Amino acid sequence: GCLVDLTGLHWQAWKKAAEAFEFDRPSLNDVKLASLVRAETAVQRIFYWTEDIFLAREIAQAQRDALKECFDQWMEEEKITLPDNNGTSLVTGGGGDEQETSSGDGNTLRVEPTEAEVFAMQAEAWGKAASMYGFGLPT
């Protein structure tokens, strides 16, 4: 597996959204908090840019569009490509519920994590958030 910190890409996307709507740039700490909630909630309750739900949705969509743009640019800069659908096969692991795709060149990409992996990732994320703000681990 591979774990990648996308905080920098999220910060770039929020910065673009802020500039597009003429708001102050968010701080990196606010962006970290924003990653824990829906974008519309972040606009209203973390960045305090607006209380207008329609404008919040518009800003959130601008952030999502900017994030896709930033991510695509990052992939291009890093020369990362996704396999095409030609010759791609779906492989099921030995009795587990994880799914993988093979691009035919010997490389295998995971499509879906197992339920246990999702739970472990969620527990780790919530644990880090809790300790960051001085709370105990969630139970």
Residues of the chain with pLDDT below 50 are 87-103
Q: 46-78: string of b/e by CB count within 10 Å (b at 16+)?
A: bbebeeeeeebebbbebbeebbeebeeeeeeee
Provide the pLDDT for residue 125: 85
Provide the pLDDT for residue 95: 40
Provide the pLDDT for residue 85: 59
Provide the pLDDT for residue 106: 53
Reported pTM: 0.59
